[in-house]
Each structure stands twice: as C-alpha cells, then as structure tokens.
Amino acid sequence: MTAVQERSPMPQEREANPAMDAPDRPIGYGRVQRKEDPRFVRGKGRYLDDIVLPGMLHGAILRSPMAHARIVSIDTTEALAHPKVHAVVTGKDLEGLNLAWAPTLSADVQAVLATDKVRFQGQEVAFVVAEDRYSARDALELIDVEYEDLPPVVDVRRALDADAPVIRDDLEGRTDNHIFDWEAGDAAETEVVFARADVVVSEEVVYPRVHPAPMETCGAIADYEPVEGRLTLYETSQAPHAHRTLFAMVAGIPEHKIRVVSPDIGGGFGNKVGIYPGYILAVVGSIVTGKPVKWVEDRSENLMSTSFARDYIMRGEVAATREGKILAVRTKVLADHGAFNATAQPTKYPAGFFSIFTGSYDLQAAHCSVTGVYTNKAPGGVAYACSFRVTEAVYLVERMVDVLAAELGMDPAELRLRNFIKPEQFPYKNKTGWEYDSGDYEPALRMAMEQIGYDELRREQAEKRGRGELMGIGVSFFTETVGAGPRKHMDIVGLGMADGAEVRVHPTGKAVVRLSVQTQGQGHETTFAQILAEELGIPPEDVDVVHGDTDQTPFGLGTYGSRSTPVSGGAVALAARKVKDKARLIAAAMLETRPEDLEWEKGRWSVKGDPSAGKTMAEIALGAHGTVELPEGVDGNLDAEVTYDPPNLTFPFGAYICVVDVDPGTGKVHVRRFVAVDDCGTRINPMIVEGQIHGGLADGVGMALMEFIGFDEQGNCLGGSFMDYLIPTAMEVPDWETGYTVTPSPHHPIGAKGIGESATVGSPPAVVNAVVDALAPFGIRHMDMPCTPARVWEAMQGRPTPPI
Amino acid sequence: MQVPAPFDYARATSVAEALELLERHGEEARLVAGGHSLLPMMKLRLARPDWVVDINDVAELRHITEEPGRLRVGALTRHAELLGSEVVGRLFPIVHDAERVIADPVVRNRGTIGGSLAQADPAEDLTTVCDVLRAEVVIAGRDGERVVAMPEFHRGPYETACAQDEIVTEVRFPVRAGQGSAYEKVERRVGDWAVAAAGAALVLDDGGAITEAAVGLTALGLEGLAVEAAAVLVGQRPDEALFAEAARLAAAASAPVEDGRGPVDYKRHLADELTRRVLRTAAARAGALTAVQGG
Ligand SMILES: Cc1cc2nc3c(=O)[nH]c(=O)nc-3n(C[C@H](O)[C@H](O)[C@H](O)COP(=O)(O)OP(=O)(O)OC[C@H]3O[C@@H](n4cnc5c(N)ncnc54)[C@H](O)[C@@H]3O)c2cc1C
C-alpha cells in the first residue's frame, strides 16, 4: 500500500475545496457542508419527541429501587383509579401475552417487566399509560410494590464465588453467575514464548463501566391499527430493519405489517442498538388502549437502565526482549455483563472483536481468554462507539506497551516504532485470526510526532521535572477492526451483517439513494450523496438520501461499529456502478454507437476520439425514461440495487499523542494538546471525517478523566444523573490538531475504511498514558481511569486504586 | 422527561406581595428565584411544594448598590450579574473568583445570591464567600426586616435563619481598606460542585502586617470560619511559613466526608493546599506581594 503522506493543513485544504456554495464545489468527494445541517441549525430536525400523533397517550415506567429483590406483590388499584390513567401493565399481564421475557441480542432473555425478581436498580417493573406524561409519572407513585430484599452481587470479582447469590434463577438449572468463557489465539504457543522471554511485564488494567449518554435519550411511539393489524413503530433506533425483524419474532406481528421509522436521532454511540423493554411496552400499551402510545425515558433512566459500555477487568502481560522487541501479549479478562446478557455483537463473538488486542505489532504469539459473568447491574455491554470491544483491546495493549517501555527504560514512541507490522507484511494475519487489510504505520506515528514537536516536548518535560512540575506525554497507536462484516462469519441473532442500497436516477437526472443504515448525527445524508456523486458525476446536492424507514429502504443491519461507510458505502458505490454501466448501454443507443466505443469522463459517456459527441447523466436519464429505443434486455429506468457482503473487515489506524499538565497540589489534569493522525483509507468528506474524530477525542478525554458508572455495596447506581456522570465540556478539551495519511482498503469498492469510532477507540490510552507519564516521578507505572483529581492524588501518594 | 409532582404557581411583583402569598398558601409554599436548586429537586420529586411563589418580577430585589463603607446586593441578583459587576470585582475579587467556578453560564444566568444562601447546600460557594467577607443578610418577614450576620444566618447544611414565610432581600458586604480576598476551588469538571474550596480575606495595615483575617472552607464539613487559622495570621506579616501554619490549622478544622469526589485524606489535603493558595493570593491582592517571603 502506498501511503499518501500529506499533512492536513486545514486552511489550505479549505481553499482547495471550498464549501458547497462556492462556484467550484466538488462533484463527489471533498469538503462540503453537510446537507442535513440547515434543518438542524434552524431547529427543524424531527426527533422522536417532536412527533405527536392524534389521540396519542403517554407511557411511563416504574423502576426497581433495589438491585436484587423478590417481588412479593404489586398493587395497581390506586394507579388505575387515577382519572387520567388508561392502563397499567405488570409482568403478570405480560406473562399472559407470552411477552414478559424477550430474547436479547446475545442468546439470553431479558425481563420486559419483572415477574419474579428485580435484578438491577432501575429495572422495569410496571408500565402506566395515561393521557399526558405528567399524569403517567404521577400514577407511578400510586403503584404499591412489596419487595423482599435479596443480597446483591455487586463486586464482579466475587460473582463466581461458590456462595454468591444466583442472579439468574429464572434460567433452568442455573447454579452460578457464569455466562461464558471464550478464548482466541494459542495458549500453549504463547506460554512457550513467555517462558523464554528476557522481560515480562504484567498489570491489571481496568476499563470501568461507562455510558454512551447520547444527547437524546431513548424512546418509542407505537401506533397499532387493529383492523388491519398494522404496527407503525417510531423508535430511536440505530438499526430499524433489524428491530422490525426482531419485533416480528417477539411480538408475533407479521413482519410485512410492521413499519419501523427511525426519525432524526440525537446521538446513538451504540446506546440505540438494542431493543429496550420501553419499546416493547409502548407496543403493548398501544395494543391494549387502541391508541398511539409514546414513551420517552428521562436522563436518569437512560443512564441507569440502558446499554452501558466496557466493564472489563483485564490482566495484561507482555513478553519482550531486552532490546525492546515485543514477542507476545496475553490477557485474561473478567467481563461484567450485568443482569442479562444483552450485548449487541456478532453471534460468534461473545467478547466482540476484543481479540484484536494484539494491536499494531508484529508478534510471535498471543492469547486471550474472556469470562463473562452476571451481576446485579444494568445489562448491555457493547456500546459507546467501541467497534465491538476494540476500545478495550486497544486500551489494554497501548497501556501495556507503555508499561513495557517503563520497564525497559525506553521511549514509548520508539518502542512502538520498533515493533510495528511493516507495510510489506500486509495483508497481515495476526495471531488471533484477523487479516489486517492494509496499513502503513510508521509514517502516521512520525507525522504525529513531528506535528506535536515530540522531541522538544520531551526536553521541556525533563526541564520541568527538575523543577517539580508534572507534565506528561502520552502516545497511543491503534488498529481498528470495523465494517462488520462478512456474512459467513458474522450475524446478529441470525441476520447476516450485509447491508443494502438502492439507487434511482429520476428522469431529470436527480437521484435518490435508499440506505439500510441509520445516521445518528454522522452526516450520512451528505457522505452517501457524495459517494453516489463521485461515481455518477452529478453534484451531491442533486442526490437525496433516504434512510430510517423500513417501508422506504432496503434491508440491512444498521449503523454501529463504524460499519456504515465500509458496508453500505460499498453497496452504494456498486449500485452506482451498475447504474453507470446501464447508462453506457443507453447512451450508446442514443448516440447510435456501440457501448465499447464510449468512454467515461465524470458525469458523461462520450465517443472515444470525439468528446463532443456524448451524453450527460441527465440526458441519459431522460432517455431511459423517455422514448429512446432501448437495447435488448435493458429496461426503461436508471435504477439499481445491491446488497453488499463485505469480503473482510477494514482496519483503520491512527497515531495519537496527548500532552497533559498535572497540578501537583490538587491532582487536577489539564489536557494541553492533542494531535490525532488518522488513516481511514479514502476520505470522502474530510470535514465530516474531522468532525467524527473531534467527537471521539472528546469521548476519550471524558472516559480517561471523568466518566464512570459506579455502584455502592447495595448495588445503587452512583452515576444516574449528569451531576454524577460527568461528560467533558469544551473547557476540558484542547483545540484538536489533526493530520492524516491515506492507505485505502484494497478490498473495498472505494477503499474507505470507516472513521466513526477511531478516535473513541484510540484516545483513552493516549490520555491515560500521558497522565501516567506525568506521574513517573512518583514511581507510578499504571493507574486506572477515570483520572479524577482525587484518584490522581491517591496515585501520587503511592496508592493508585482500581475504580472497581 | 423528569416532571415534578403537581403544584400551583403564583407570581409576585413586590416583597410585600411575596410575603402575603407565602402566608396565604401556608407551609408548603416555596419561593422560587433562579430555580436552579429548587426545580431540579422538584423534578426528582425530592421537593414537593404545593405552591411555588415566583419572585423573578420583584425588581426591588435586583440591584448592586455601592454606599460608603458597604456594598448592598439585592437577593435576586444573578450570579452572572455579580460576575459582570466591575464594582464587585474591584472591592471583593473573591466574589469573582468564586463566580467564575460556580456552575456554568446557563446556571449563572438564572441562579441568584439569595437563592444560593437560602439553599445552603454544603458545597455551595457563596456561603463561604459571605462568611469570609463577614457579610450580613437582610431578612424580611411579616413583622418587618431584620439584619443577621452570616454566623447567625447560616445554621448548617440546608438550614438558615430565614423561615419558610420570610424572604432574604439583601446581602450587605462591609468594605475594608487594605483588604485582599481570594477563592479557589477544585472541581472534577467545569460546572461541577466543589470537591473542596477555600476562601480567605486579609486586611493589611500600612506596614504590611495582617490586621484582620478570615478563612473559610467549602464542602469540607466546616460550618462558619476557620477561627484558629485566622487567629495565627493576625498581627503577623504574611509569609509562606505563616500560611502553611494557618493552612494546617484550617485542614485540622475541616471534617470532610468521603464521596464520589474523593476520600477524606484527599479532601483534608485540599483544605491545606487551597488555604495556602488563597492566602497567597489574598495577601498579594492586599498589596503585599513584595512582603511575602518565599511565596
Ligand atoms: C448544574 C448546576 C451546577 C451548580 N453548581 C454550583 C456550584 O458549583 N456552586 C454553587 O454554589 N452553586 C451551584 N449551583 C447552584 C446554583 O448556584 C443555584 O442557582 C443556587 O444554589 C440557588 O439559587 P437560585 O436562585 O437558583 O435558587 P432557587 O432554586 O430558586 O431556590 C433555592 C432555595 O432557596 C429559596 N429561596 C430562593 N430565593 C430566596 C429568597 N430571596 N429568600 C428566601 N429564600 C429563597 C427557595 O425557596 C429554595 O428553597 C449549581 C446548580 C446547577 C443546576
């Protein structure tokens, strides 16, 4: 692969590719303003809570105040007597409909409303439907639930103790809290390498529980029409088609009678992949009352009950030579999955793509084993822009490489440079079974080092250390694995992870592209218009992008795991090429020549050797729908449809460097600078790419410094509001400095690799490595996130403590 | 959406009317000023007033008035107005120090000094500031007005001398020549309540000796001023060793509790560290920069 090693000096780039309203706007790829933004910046977005249907009722959920308790009785009499209440639904009622339990995305079941026990604080216990949302909430207080306390399992390290209470006694034959054991790599081979290595470092690395916390919380409006038996379900969903299929399976409503609409989505980050009890309850509410029912959770409900992320305790080990050649990496992981195993990931991957923990390094051996357990906490697991647990994997290996650098007394950047997979080794088969498609790592890290002035910073640091000032420089280099994925390996509840696209060119040459993926703010309406525009040579503003409505779009699995551009982007490009090929046949008919005699220049088929004789896409479109006599086998439209089954995943990568200053008196960390050099292959819209990176970097600073869903001994959630669950603001993050290289994916139709999660994956280790580097004078080699002032100060006192 | 329990609402345009409304609607009536403490509690249904009496139209409560020897600040003065006030910054830089780190601009645009003192949250910043500046609080009730000093006004967490049917109308700050004051807070993130904070005010005489001193702590379990810390300062010339001793005494007077913001020893360390910092700044602001030895 050849890397295009240009820095990205943004101002110049802006000049070269001015915004869309400039006369020389790009047709195809380039920096154009987002087509969807006019409606968002003018407050004209249409989110779930903006939708009001005639006669609509409102639902609210009564949640468990306890982490683990038996339900003795539920008395709904008073709530039902409330003048504005239309229905109160309990687990018992759902049992009658065979809906009390629903399948999760991980071959488990989850209670829709608790029947026997509550298993985490915030679990759904009863559902009230009332005339307005205020009355619905008032009525929740009128429901009387009697609980009998049970001892909760809060400490994940004790979940497998012989005397630990059994959380899932609903499952037959359950005698413990064990969910799964899973491994990758070769344990024996790895042991051999470790046994003869000069140096072995070992550290327990915790990636604590965090939450995606999208700006818009989750919600649904169900509108069941009993005469025809049709259900229209508006949902905050990242995967409308998958949801429709699952609803058909769970609720017994035939799939063709279900329409799922996912309107504008105010952030997802994985939080809106799963099907929550609230969605199902809105449907039940609508069936029971015969009216549309809206349910929208509040902030605390979102934080306490919906998909959390991470919660991995990882024992990491690295084997190396004295000279700094990394030989092998291995890890044992204890994974807290909460009360129900509801993680959203491909079936064969219970720990997601965690086995990419071998990172960007050429190793002789690697092995990981992951044990998943139940605890009395909210279910979920794969969420928060993690690329199916690549975040945990990258954090582990990048933290451990720094631990090794400290042991060897080597510069962490230098250590990485010495161990990278070389460009000529791609496609590279790693020791846990992945085939990295393309990469050229060294130029990316060198660019980041040059951009931040690495050597100068190290000099400054040495000087400051002499004066007792604490400054840290953190390096992280990540390889992502995204774009799931090849159908033969990857499915979610049996649905293959391919995605469709339909392209139609209208008679006037304007086009529509229909997608199975669903934007949550990523700018799909622009990016996908640009992909089509690039292929067909028409302006992006002439392309309408339709998504989020199962009645209007082809089947596919939706947007998460940075898969939209790698999967649906491939589908759009291939569909566009079909249209282009067909346009050639039609143009030939129009020009009364043979298709072989035509050549393509962007937007136009013309006669070889006579460029003046040609037809533009608009002319061809009119011809296709008009009266031109079409060649045999060519029908009268310019439409095409493709379902793209990716041959492999794509492997974006990047080099991140962070500089922090730590106040020695208070432990407060200030992030001074952050340089991010990303390689996502082909860059469709650099502005959108940068936007995705900026957002992910802020996420990373948040997780590294402050985000944390903790629990007390009783299992009470301590992160249930934005006063307790802190997300960073503009004040905590620096001005991002970005750069890029371009190493296209060799197997992808347009060479694009996906960028949605790179920065969330790559930035936490850069920040933590910087903090630990700042604390080196205290003899600290590792501290766990979140690096809050108190925790940093404790580390400075020689007692860095795990957060859980 | 979090929604409060049902309540009724009335809007007053004068102090007299507000008092009348409080009396009429009885014990379960609450004033609302900026609403940034009351409304979140109502939405969580931790506060459930039957009546909410809105005083945002009571113009007489919204003023910053400089008078000889004192500054009068109306109870409805917003955080943002205090922060924007040149006279406040000039006379009492500690107020600007604190205001810069109270919540965020959205909250500061609405939250008021009266509401802050009346709420008396243990992590609330202006109580410490008013303690340190030896402010007085004016309380209006059915039987007229009374003026109480801060130690009498602030009785402890969520408890003040202002009864349910009374209104805080004004806060009065005495102006002292030669005074320097400062406030510093550690927060986990901008807009967060204090992990810990400290405030100090020093008055220096022409010779550079400390004639008056006040040290206060926020979110550290100390009600009122750190008297021992202040006592060692008075009569001395500011220097690092003196500040270290005062800071040690302030930390000894603190009684922090462990919570999500940090353990006890960390917070006690902050009492010490932040006290030293605010004493340095207060002394410098009092014009004694050159007199500080080893600072
Ligand atoms: C996100 C957030 C972060 C915050 N961070 C901080 C912080 O870091 N530091 C800090 O100090 N504060 C902080 N606050 C609190 C903020 O400063 C509040 O505005 C303040 O505490 C209360 O002022 P208010 O005018 O909003 O009072 P309200 O909420 O209107 O009232 C609070 C209480 O005082 C009573 N009251 C109000 N006015 C009067 C009056 N004139 N006389 C008698 N009683 C009255 C009310 O009846 C009520 O009981 C924060 C608030 C929020 C929402």
Whole-number Å distance between alpha carbons of B207 and A154:
62
Q: Which ligand 1 atom is at minimum distance from the Cα of B38?
A: 29
Enumerate the β-bridge partners of residue A616.
A604
- Whether B151 and B194 map to the same domain: the answer is no
Q: Is B96 in CB contact (< 8 Å) with chain A?
A: no
Is B79 a domain residue?
Answer: yes
pLDDT at residue A576 tops 60: yes
Task: Map residue A737 onto helix, strand or coil.
Answer: strand
- Its domain, for residue B93, covers 63-174
- Whether B153 and B245 map to the same domain: the answer is no
Q: A789 vs B188: CB contact, 8 Å cut-off?
A: yes
Q: B188 vs A731: CB contact, 8 Å cut-off?
A: no
The length of chain B in residues reads 295
pLDDT at residue B295 tops 60: no
Q: Residue B59 Cα, ligand 1 centroid: separation in angstroms?
A: 18
The residue type of A250 is V
Span A98-125, pLDDT tens digits: 999 999 999 999 999 999 999 999 999 9
CA angle A284, A141, A170 (to 5 degrees): 55
- Whether B88 and B143 map to the same domain: the answer is yes
The structure tokens 């344990």 sit at A187
Span A23-40, pLDDT tens digits: 457 899 999 999 999 999
- Whether B206 and B268 map to the same domain: the answer is yes
Pocket lining: B36 vs ligand 1, CB cutoff 6 Å: yes
The residue type of B199 is G
Is B291 a domain residue?
Answer: no
Is B258 a domain residue?
Answer: yes
- Whether B81 and B170 map to the same domain: the answer is yes
- Whether B222 and B192 map to the same domain: the answer is yes
Helices (H), chain B: 15-25, 38-43, 79-84, 86-91, 93-100, 105-108, 113-119, 125-132, 150-153, 227-233, 240-253, 264-283
pLDDT tier for residue B293 given thresholds of 50, 70 and 90: very low
- Whether B218 and B270 map to the same domain: the answer is yes
Residue A279 tokens, joined: 């969605």
Span B71-83, pLDDT tens digits: 999 999 999 999 9
Quick one: pLDDT at residue A391?
A: 97
User: Which run of H or of E encompasses A39?
Assistant: helix A37-41
Pocket lining: B51 vs ligand 1, CB cutoff 6 Å: no
Residues contacting B31, CB < 8 A, separation 6+: B18, B22, B52, B53, B54, B55, B118, B167
pLDDT at residue B5 tops 60: yes
Is B137 a domain residue?
Answer: yes
pLDDT at residue B59 tops 90: yes
Boundary of a domain, candidates B140, B174, B208: B174
Residue A345 tokens, joined: 């990931």
Residues contacting B129, CB < 8 A, separation 6+: B92, B94, B95, B98, B183, B199, B216
Span A437-450, pLDDT tens digits: 999 999 999 999 99
Is B96 a domain residue?
Answer: yes
Quick one: pLDDT at residue A10?
A: 43
Whole-number Å distance between alpha carbons of B42 and B37:
9
Is B146 a domain residue?
Answer: yes
Residue A155 Rama label (left phi>0; alpha psi -120 to 50; beta): beta
Quick one: pLDDT at residue A24?
A: 56
End-to-end alpha carbon distance in chain A: 43
The structure tokens 């064969």 sit at A348
Is B11 a domain residue?
Answer: no
Contact A94, A61 (CB under 8 A): no
Please list every residue in chain A whose beta carbon sits closer than 8 Å to the beta carbon of residue B277. Answer: 665
Boundary of a domain, candidates B174, B207, B228: B174
**What are the CA-CA distances from residue B286 to residues B70, B133, B213 (Å)?**
18, 14, 12
Span A247-265, pLDDT tens digits: 999 888 999 999 999 999 9
Please list every residue in chain B whose beta carbon sits closer than 8 Å to the beta carbon of residue A48. Answer: none
Nearest to B240, CA basis, from B177, B289, B198, B179: B289
Is B132 a domain residue?
Answer: yes
pLDDT tier for residue B287 given thresholds of 50, 70 and 90: confident
**What are the CA-CA distances from residue A597 to residues A169, A252, A526, A581, A588 (Å)?**
72, 56, 34, 13, 8
Q: Is B2 in CB contact (< 8 Å) with chain A?
A: yes
Span A293-345, pLDDT tens digits: 999 999 999 999 999 999 999 999 999 999 999 999 999 999 999 999 999 99
Pocket lining: B114 vs ligand 1, CB cutoff 6 Å: yes
Q: Could you tell me what percent of chain A has a pLDDT over 90?
A: 95
User: CATH number of the domain that B210 lies in?
Assistant: 3.30.390.50
End-to-end alpha carbon distance in chain B: 51
Quick one: pLDDT at residue B211?
A: 97
Boundary of a domain, candidates B110, B145, B174: B174
Span A350-409, pLDDT tens digits: 999 999 999 999 999 999 999 999 999 999 878 889 999 999 999 999 999 999 999 999
pLDDT tier for residue A8 given thresholds of 50, 70 and 90: very low
Mean pLDDT over each residue of chain A, to the nearest integer: 95
Residue A436 tokens, joined: 């990295």
- Whether B192 and B264 map to the same domain: the answer is yes
Q: A726 vs B269: CB contact, 8 Å cut-off?
A: no
Number of compact structural domains in chain B: 2
User: CATH number of the domain that B151 lies in?
Assistant: 3.30.465.10
pLDDT at residue A7 tops 80: no
Nearest to A318, CA basis, from A798, A802, A781: A781
> Which protein residue has the closest C-alpha to ligand 1 atom 39?
B115
Span B165-182, pLDDT tens digits: 999 999 999 999 999 999
Span A418-431, pLDDT tens digits: 999 999 999 999 99
Number of alpha carbons in the 13 Å side-chain half-sphere of residue B108: 20
Q: Is B186 in CB contact (< 8 Å) with chain A?
A: yes
Nearest to A652, CA basis, from A766, A565, A744, A522: A744
**What are the CA-CA distances from residue A377 to residues A167, A214, A339, A536, A716 (Å)?**
10, 20, 6, 51, 9
> How buried is A28 (Cβ within 10 angstroms: 0-12 exposed, 13-18 middle, 19+ buried)?
buried
Neighbours of B120 (CB within 10 A): 18
A137, A718, A793 ranked by CB distance to B266: nearest: A793
Contact A579, A538 (CB under 8 A): no
Task: Map residue B159 onto helix, strand or coil.
Answer: strand
**If you average pLDDT over residues B188-214, what whole number do you get?**
96
- Whether B192 and B253 map to the same domain: the answer is yes
Q: Is B46 in CB contact (< 8 Å) with chain A?
A: no
- Whether B126 and B223 map to the same domain: the answer is no
Task: Map residue B149 onto helix, strand or coil.
Answer: strand
Quick one: pLDDT at residue A380?
A: 87
- Whether B107 and B161 map to the same domain: the answer is yes
> How buried is A595 (Cβ within 10 angstroms: 0-12 exposed, 13-18 middle, 19+ buried)?
middle
Quick one: pLDDT at residue A15?
A: 43
Contact B210, B233 (CB under 8 A): yes
Pocket lining: B37 vs ligand 1, CB cutoff 6 Å: yes
Residue A767 Rama label (left phi>0; alpha psi -120 to 50; beta): alpha
Nearest to A542, CA basis, from A552, A550, A532: A532
- Whether B195 and B247 map to the same domain: the answer is yes
pLDDT tier for residue A21 given thresholds of 50, 70 and 90: very low
Please list every residue in chain A whose beta carbon sits closer than 8 Å to the beta carbon of residue B192. Answer: 723, 726
